[in-house]
Amino acid sequence: MLEIRDFHVKFNSRSREAVGGISFTIQDGEILGLVGESGSGKSVTAMSIAGLLPRRQCTYSGDILLDGQDLLHADRSVLRTLHGRRIGVVFQEPMSAMNPLLTVGEQVGEVLRVHTSLSKAERREKVLSAMADVELPEPEVLYGRYPHELSGGQLQRAMIAAAIIIEPSLLLLDEPTTALDVTIQAQILALLRRLNREKGISQLFISHNLAVVRKLCSRVAVMQRGLLVECGDTDDIFFHPSHPYTKNLIAAIPVREHRMQAAAGPFADAKEAGRAVSSPEAGRGAAPDSAVSSSEAGRGAALDSVIEVSSPSSAAGIPAANGTLSKGGE
């Protein structure tokens, strides 16, 4: 449904291309993961798909096609008809992505106000059911609240409700769980999986954390410095990374995470478990090797940005995701 061909972006203020010629596709009903260290061009890619690229500040080329329709060069007026109806966007920081002066209900229903001729009461009905759909507690109460009165997790659910309220075909999620703590993160991932299954909404899920992507996506694309270094089946890439950068990303995931994935992860059938048990060795092997031999400064940053320390799963019953997030621990 979405096809990106040889896509380049260069900001006028920078000497290096932010995105240096990438190509990938998202199939109907698929969740594609996009991983890479920060600054690798993930957001620029997502913003370009969303038609939010600041066009005057950069030069760009290539094709971004949504069901054959060009998004990259489309007119603003054309993009407006797609925004919210065909494409929904969810950003990293729900607090700053919401207008602090409007109620949550108004913002969840904004797409309806723009794209439909529903009456206020009808919109309210739809908003309440969308809010219930993303498992927000007491929608009637939260409807009239302002963003600063909700928690980060609730806000992110509201942002998702706003993005899917008229069921777009593609949902772009730019690090939607990065700002949330690990328990909430797992719940949001479960919600996204359910929305994908029940409504068939295709998603581009961006994260700098390969372990998170693995819980949600069957396919993953790995970006480094504006280039796509690897793209394919998540498990293939996870267990047989071909690019040193990908190995690095995997090595940075703590070993315990692998074991827990093997024991109770979402792909915990016999074959997967068999692979996962063998993976710690690969992971351990890769870590010192690449850390020592790495001469590129970027790799150190990559390690930093993906280290996630999980404690063994406890009462909550959410496998492999209910630890606490902390950087540089272990």
Ligand X SMILES: Nc1ncnc2c1ncn2[C@@H]1O[C@H](COP(=O)(O)OP(=O)(O)O)[C@@H](O)[C@H]1O
DSSP state of 27: -
**One symbol per residue from 56 to 95: x for binding ligand X (CB under 6 A), - otherwise; what is it?**
-x--------------------------------------
Sign, CA dihedral 139-144-145-146, equals positive
> How many other CB atoms sit within 10 Å of the CB of residue 319?
16
The Cα 218–Cα 59 span in angstroms is: 32
Q: Which part of the chain contacts ligand X (CB under 6 A), choosing from 9-17, 76-84, 183-191, 255-263?
A: 9-17
36 binding partner (options Mg ion, ligand X, another protein, none; Cβ < 5 to 8 Å by kind): ligand X
Q: What's the closest the beta carbon of residue 301 comes to another protein, in angstroms?
A: 23
Q: How far apart are CA 173 and CA 46, in angstroms?
A: 8
* Residue 44 binding: pick among Mg ion, another protein, ligand X, none (C-beta 5-8 Å cut-off by kind): ligand X
> Cα dihedral sign for 21, 25, 26, 31?
negative
The answer to whether the beta carbons of residues 136 and 162 sit under 8 Å apart is no
| Shorter beta-carbon distance to ligand X: residue 40 or 185 | 40
Q: Which of 33, 41, 84, 254 binds ligand X (CB under 6 A)?
A: 41
* Length of the chain measured in residues: 330
Q: Which of 38, 116, 218, 294 binds ligand X (CB under 6 A)?
A: 38
Among 32, 35, 42, 204, binds ligand X (CB under 6 A): 42
Query: What amino acid is encoded at 235 in this protein?
Result: D
Nearer to another protein, 127 or 250 (CB): 127
The answer to whether 18 contacts ligand X (rule: CB under 6 A) is: yes
Site stretch for another protein (CB under 8 A), options 30-38, 145-153, 187-195, 290-298: 145-153
Strands 202-207 and 31-35 come out as parallel
According to CB under 8 A, which one of 20, 29, 132, 146 is a site residue for another protein?
146
Binding segment for ligand X (CB under 6 A), chosen from 13-21, 229-237, 253-261, 317-325, is 13-21
Tell me which residues touch another protein (CB under 8 A): 47, 50, 52, 76, 80-85, 87-89, 91, 93, 96-102, 107, 110-111, 114-115, 146, 148-149, 159, 162
Tell me which residues touch Mg ion (CB under 5 A): 43
Tell me which residues touch ligand X (CB under 6 A): 11, 13-14, 18, 36, 38-44, 54, 57
